[in-house]
Amino acid sequence: MFEKTRKIIKYPRLTQDSPKRPVNTDHIIGKPVIDNALCDCCSECITRCPSGAIYRDESTKTVEINYNECVFCMLCEEVCPLGAIRMTKEIYLAERNLEEIGEELRRKINKIFGRSLNIREVDSGSCNGCDYEINALNNPFVDIERFGIHFVASPRHADMLLVTGTAVRNMEEALLKTYNATPEPKLVVAVGACACSGGIFKDTYASGNGIKGVVPVDVFIPGCPPRPQAILHGILKAISLP
């Protein structure tokens, strides 16, 4: 008992105050960006990108990166002969799916969820990297419960589904059933490149191209896997908290 109390006194608070204060980005590797002034469209990065995230935009005649597909492997930075691609420290990449939900409706939903949001996590065929990062939301450093956000055991108790994985053949039905078991109104957040687009696993005989083909998605969180802070940012974005 004495030992235990000693530990509690020694480590009173470990939680980082993100997103209010930015996290230390000294070592972080974030999204790659292309400097179009340097790029001569040699397409070396396009052919070698393992997840096919880099494409040539014919309308603007530039090379672009689809962050929903990017696996953040840094190969493009390495192979670019002109040094036009570099990795930044930007990790907050969550984007709202604008097609899915009207502004008015969202405001209403967010009012209902207020400061109590219950989340059910569904792995629809990930490598388990994203799942470990979602688990990390509960660790003392991120501590998602301080926002009134809880992970619950059943979709019937949930307001939000946090889905990882590519929606593989064997999980499609389970994902749909989980979605249907979640009471309205509900939000769906896709976590990681696999859930956003299929990532590196797209187009095999057993894997799907992201979860948007199975359930409607409100927010996409790119990354392979996204850092816990990036996932937290995406969840807060879905309920319009800063």
Partner 1 sequence: MDRLKDKIFEVFSQSIINCNINNKNELCLEVDPDKIVGICTYINTTLDLPLVSMFASDERSLIGRYGVYYVFSQRDEGNLLILKTGVDSTKMEIQSISATVPGAATYEREIKDLFGIDSMGHPDPKRLVFHSNWPSGEFPLRKEFEAGYKPRLAKEDIRFTKVEGEGVYEIPVGPVHAGIIEPGHFRFSVAGEPIINLEAQLYFVHKGIEKMCEGQSIEKCLYVAERISGDETFTNALAYCQAIEKIAEVKVPERARYSRVVFAELERLTSHLGDLGGICLDTGYGFATFQFRMMRGWAYAVADELCGMRFLRSVCRPGGLRKDFVAGKERRILEQLEKIRAELTDTIHIIRANSMFIDRVENTGILDHKIAKDLNAVGPGGRAAGMDCDIRRDFPYEAYGQLEFSVPVYQYGDVNCRMNVKIEEAFQSIDLMQKAIELMPFGEVFEPIPPLAPYRFAFGLTEAPRGENIHFVMTGEENTIFRYKIRTPSFCNWPALCHAVKGNIVPDFPLINKSFNLSYAGNDL
Number of residues that bind partner 1 (CB under 8 A): 62
Candidate list 93, 171, 214, 232; residue touching partner 1; CB under 8 A:
171
**Judged by CB under 8 A, which stretch of 32-40, 57-65, 109-117, 160-168 contacts partner 1?**
160-168
Q: By CB under 8 A, is residue 174 in contact with partner 1? A: yes
9 contacts partner 1 (rule: CB under 8 A): no
Shortest gap between Cβ of 170 and partner 1 (angstroms)? 5
Minimum distance between the CB of residue 158 and partner 1, rounded to whole angstroms?
A: 11
How far apart are the C-alpha atoms of 129 and 171, rounded to whole Å? 17
Residue 147 and residue 241 in contact, taking contact as beta carbons nearer than 8 Å: yes
CA 62 from centroid of its chain's CA atoms? 26
Check residue 32 for interaction with partner 1 (CB under 8 A): no
- Single out the residue of 28, 11, 8 nearest to residue 228, CA to CA: 28
Read off φ and ψ for residue 82, nearest 5 degrees.
-105, 0
Q: How many CB atoms lie within 10 A of CB 70?
A: 26
Q: Per rule CB under 8 A, is residue 229 in the interface with partner 1?
A: no
Q: Could you give the CA distance from residue 38 to residue 35 in angstroms, rounded to a whole number?
A: 6
Tally: H helices and E strands in the chain: 8, 10
27 binds partner 1 (CB under 8 A): yes
- Asked if 200 is part of the footprint of partner 1 (rule: CB under 8 A), the reply reads yes
> Three-state SS for 141?
coil
Considering only 207, 230, 237, 238, the residue that binds partner 1 (CB under 8 A) is: 207
Query: Which of these ranges, 55-63, 104-112, 221-229, 230-238, lies near partner 1 under the rule CB under 8 A?
Result: 221-229
79-108: contacts with partner 1 (CB under 8 A): none
| Closest distance to partner 1 from the beta carbon of 68 (Å) | 16
Instruction: Choose one: 36-44, 55-63, 100-108, 114-122; the region binding partner 1 (CB under 8 A).
Output: 114-122
What's at 206, amino acid-wise? A
Name the one range near partner 1 by CB under 8 A: 104-112, 147-155, 213-221, 234-242: 147-155
Whose structure tokens read 């929903």?
A: 68
Write phi, then psi, for 33 (nearest 5 degrees): -130, 150
- Phi and psi, residue 56, nearest 5°: -100, 120
Could you tell me the smallest distance in angstroms from the CB atom of residue 78 to partner 1? 8
